[in-house]
Structure formats: C-alpha cells, structure tokens
Amino acid sequence: MTLWIWLLLACFLAYAWKLVGYLVPARLLEDPRTSRVAGTMTIGLLASLTVVNAVVSGQGLAADARLGALAAAAIALVLRAPFLVVVIAGAGTAALLRTLGWN
C-alpha cells in the first residue's frame, strides 16, 4: 500500500516539473547551469541504474549472467540496433548463460 503512495507522489512531482517549465518566467530556468545540471544528472542516474541492475545484489556486488547481458547490450548499441532489439539481446543473453549454468 505504501508503494502506491510513493508512486502517486512520483507521478504528481513528474507533472509538477513539466508544468513548472510552462508557468514560471523563462529567465528563472534560463541559467545555462540549470539545464546543464538537469542533463548531467540524467547521465549520472542512468549510469548508476545500469550498474545497480548489472552487478548489485542486495548490499553486495555479484558477477552473474547480468554481466553477459550488459556486454550483449553494448555490442547491440555499437551496431546501432534499435531500443527493443537491445533489450531483447540483453534478455536473451542472460537467459542463455543461465541455461549454460552460469547462474
């Protein structure tokens, strides 16, 4: 139940961000630093989420089939595959490695 509360709050705050851009005077957000921070934070969060989902297990680090998924996704991206193909490559590699016995 508490997950619902945080989820709906996240939805509300997401809309609030979007609307702020339309309602506040442009000069308040025009500072190049504001848009740079928004951009670098996007990069940082996505990099961190990639790592967490690839090697973190609880409070520790683990090297398992997910590392293979990471490598497969990177190869697919270098070959300019579309998003969905990259995701399928990741899933397929992890599934294959598990069938082969690498947890």
Partner 1 sequence: MKLLASPAVRVGISISIATGLYGVSFGALAVTSGLNFWQTMALSLLLFSGGSQFAFIGVVAGGGSGIAAMSAATLLGMRNGIYGMQLNALLRPTGWRKYVGAQLTIDESTATSTGQTDPAEQRRGFWTAGVGVYVLWNLFTAVGALAGSGLGDPKQWGLDGAAVAAFLALLWPRLKGREPVAIAVACAVATVVAVPFVPAGVPILVSAVVAAVAGWFSHGRRDEGLEPDVEPYGSHGHSHHHDRRNAPEPSRDPDPEAGA
Q: Which residues contact 66 (CB under 8 A, 6 or more apart)?
A: 53, 54, 55, 94
4 lines the binding site for partner 1 (CB under 8 A): yes
54 versus 101: smaller Cβ distance to partner 1: 54
Q: How far is CA 29 from the centre of its chain?
A: 25
Site for partner 1 in 25-54 (CB under 8 A): 26, 29-30, 32-54
DSSP H or E segment with residue 56: strand 56-57
Instruction: Provide Rg for the chain, Cα atoms.
Output: 19
Task: Name the maximum alpha-carbon separation found in the chain.
Answer: 58
Q: How far is the CB of 101 from partner 1 (least distance, A)?
A: 13
2 lines the binding site for partner 1 (CB under 8 A): yes
95 lines the binding site for partner 1 (CB under 8 A): yes
Query: Would you say the C-alpha torsion 57, 63, 66, 71 has a positive or negative sign?
Result: positive
Q: How far is the CB of 1 from partner 1 (least distance, A)?
A: 10
58 lines the binding site for partner 1 (CB under 8 A): yes
9 lines the binding site for partner 1 (CB under 8 A): yes
Q: Rule CB under 8 A: choose which of 63, 69, 79, 102 binds partner 1.
A: 69
